[in-house]
Chains A and B, each alone.
Chain A
Amino acid sequence: MKTKNKLKTEYKPVIGLEIHLQPKTKSKIFCSCSSEYFGKAPNTHTCPVCLGLPGALPVPNKKAIELCMKLALALNCEINKESKFDRKNYFYPDLPKGYQISQYDQPIGKEGFVEIDIHGDARRIRMTRVHMEEDTGKSIHRGNETLLDFNKSGVPLIEIVTEPDFSSKEEVDIFAKRLRQIIRYCEISDADMEKGQMRYELNMSMRKEGEKKLPDYKIEVKNIGSISVLQKVIDYETKRQTEALEKGEKLIQETRGIKDMSGVTLSQRVKEGSADYRYFPEPDIPLMSFDKDIIEQIRLTIPELPQEKKWRYVNEYKIEIDTAEVIVSNKSLFTYFEQVLERLKDTKLAQNAANWIVGDLRRLSKKYNVKINESKIKSVYLAELVELIDSGKLRSNVAKEVLTKVFKTGNSPSQIIKESDLGMIENKGELEQVVKKVIGSNQKIVDDYKNKNPNAIKFLLGQVMRETRGQADPIVAKQLLEKLIK
């Protein structure tokens, strides 16, 4: 008997995430250098402040703070009415001041949550905190030289820290995607991973199934640049940590890194106790206090969020859960869908419209590289299309062709149908011709019919439909067949 090298399912992961996100501001967080530095020549977006020159002083960017607060509210956080910046002291060549201005014990937002759906169950992932800090410069190690570029130094960062509420990589995946949607919905950031606008840090340990206490160690894996790599890292760490624990090894607090997209992690430093950052309040920046009105003002700028939207589609419009999920994940899709909903005379057709959107329209959009809501297929046209199908004036397989033509030309479905003669055959005489033709070419089947074979009529009807390319009304066609055969 072959023994499978199967991992014992004794251990389950305990995962928390830290997300760093560059909010969409025009200038940096503590100076007026442009924050649009990506792809620019090194050290061309710096000034005394972000270069850490002697005597320079930080002045906070109002927009950055507003975006941080907006995101914190969207994540259901409580906003700290009294907040401040703190200095986090450590040395590194890409940290010009020898300290990073961050937030320590009074972050802008705290104690929030994000609701996700796992296998039909709603789960709340708790947010510990949402705070504001500055990014460091970039260091490139090349042989025996380190190259430093301070363009990124001082770019604002929003840091989100979750509680260790994840127990599977699936949950992490769903959450990460939902978070990215929330960020895009609220226009906090473009969250373009390739431009380094968002990065993940994984905090993970393994514990025995059923164990409620948190393990006494945690492995930190920093600088993960995409959700797919995050998944691979979770797989790798699950295997690595489980193997170690099964061997009886004691795992300790450790920081690991990745060097490629394979998910393999490498040890960086062992944390025996944590680094002493000697946090203290930033004396160069006055305290921040947020009154109820300011917070409300910002809260009002938050649109309907994906989770809410999804359940509204499901509950109000009877959209299938999976379809709804696809629609809410993409701005052009839901914008378009909601426009179509407004155009529909009867919203019972909403699911039909949804199907077209997530199916054929999405394909067309990809093929021709144009967003659905920016394409020639105006929302009123899709509404028209589904209504035509519903009223029987257009067969669904012909509808596909009509849809494509509308997408490419921008003409209305009715117009397309008229021009291409793709509508249902209205002319009874025309239909009679076809029926006679079918009867004529299928004498044997006609005889079967006369012999009371029930399948015969189905076949003949099928032939009529084929001949008319689906444009015949099947009920009328059947009646004609029966009449003319006699």
Chain B
Amino acid sequence: MTKPIITKEQVKHIADLAKIDLSPHEIEKYQKELASILEYVKKIQEVDTKKIDFKTHVGVKNVYREDVPTESLTQEEAVSQAKNKDGYIIVPTVITKK
């Protein structure tokens, strides 16, 4: 049997790198789907790209800003979309009962 292009372990690892919580059922599902997708996209390896040196997709270079400060968001605006307290954005951790 040929080794699958992506294993369940790899799916777990990728999900960990991407910080996405997956259930065991999801891991199985995505393993199949990702394998099929990767089998397809790996065809790019057939292409001879020896002479190609990809640098960038943008035509221009050296785009900068002058060092001039401007107004920021107010504190209220900055934290308005998050859990916040005293001007800080807070990440509340809870101990879940096991």
A/B touching: CB–CB < 8 A: yes
A residues with a Cβ closer than 8 A to B are 25-27, 32-36, 41-48, 51, 59-65, 84, 91, 93, 140, 144-150, 276, 278, 281, 283, 285-289
Sample (23) of A-B pairs whose CB atoms are under 8 Å apart: A26-B67, A32-B65, A34-B69, A41-B75, A43-B75, A43-B89, A44-B72, A47-B72, A51-B73, A62-B66, A63-B67, A145-B85, A145-B91, A147-B85, A147-B89, A148-B89, A283-B57, A286-B56, A286-B62, A287-B56, A287-B61, A287-B62, A288-B61
The distance in angstroms between the C-alpha atoms of A281 and B88, with both chains bound, is 32
B64 at the A interface (CB under 8 A):
yes
CB of A160 to closest CB in B, whole Å: 21
Residues of chain B from 51 to 98 with CB closer than 8 A to chain A in the complex: 55-58, 60-70, 72-75, 78-79, 85-95
In the complex, the answer to whether B68 meets A26 with C-beta atoms within 8 Å is yes
Asked if residues A91 and B69 are in contact (CB atoms below 8 Å), the reply is no
Q: Which of B61, B87, B94 contacts A43 (CB 8 A)?
A: B87
A145/B63 in contact, CB under 8 A: no
Q: Please name all residues of chain A whose beta carbon is closer than 8 Å to the beta carbon of B63 when the two chains form the complex.
A: 59-60, 285-286
Whether a CB of chain A sits under 8 angstroms from the CB of B17 is yes
Contacts of B95 in A (CB 8 A): 144
A59 / chain B contacts, CB cutoff of 8 Å: 63-65
**Given A43-B88, A283-B57, A286-B60, CB of A27 within 8 Å of CB of B67:** yes
B69–A26 contact, CB under 8 A? yes
A46-B78, A93-B91 in contact; A34/B67 too (CB < 8 A)? no
Give the docked Cα–Cα distance between A93 and B19 (Å): 12
With a cutoff of 8 Å between Cβ atoms, the chain B residues found around residue A41 in the complex are 75, 87
Query: What is the total of A-B residue contacts with beta carbons within 8 Å?
Result: 112
Q: Number of B interface residues, CB 8 Å?
A: 34
Q: How far is the CA of A169 from the CA of B68 in the complex (A)?
A: 41
- Cβ contacts under 8 Å, A286 to chain B: 56, 58, 60-63
Task: Give the distance to chain B from A348, nearest Cβ to Cβ, in Å.
Answer: 46
Contacts of A36 in B (CB 8 A): 69
CB distance from A10 to the nearest CB of B (A): 41
Residues of A within 8 A of B91 (CB): 93, 145-146, 148
B65 with A61: CB separation less than 8 A = yes
Distance in Å from the Cβ of B29 to the closest Cβ of chain A? 24
Docked complex Cα distance between A149 and B90 (Å): 9
Distance between A33 CB and nearest chain B CB, rounded to angstroms: 5
Q: How far is the CB of A24 from chain B (nearest CB, A)?
A: 10
Minimum Cβ distance to chain A for residue B64 (Å): 4
- A residues less than 8 Å from B68 (CB atoms): 26-27, 32
Complex partner residue of A42 from B62, B75, B93, CB under 8 angstroms: B75
User: Nearest Cβ in chain B — how far from A286, in angstroms?
Assistant: 5
Give the residues in chain B near A26, CB-CB below 8 Å.
Answer: 67-69
Contacts beyond the supplied A43-B79, A62-B65: 7 A-B pairs with Cβ under 8 Å:
A43-B88, A43-B89, A47-B73, A51-B73, A59-B64, A59-B65, A283-B57
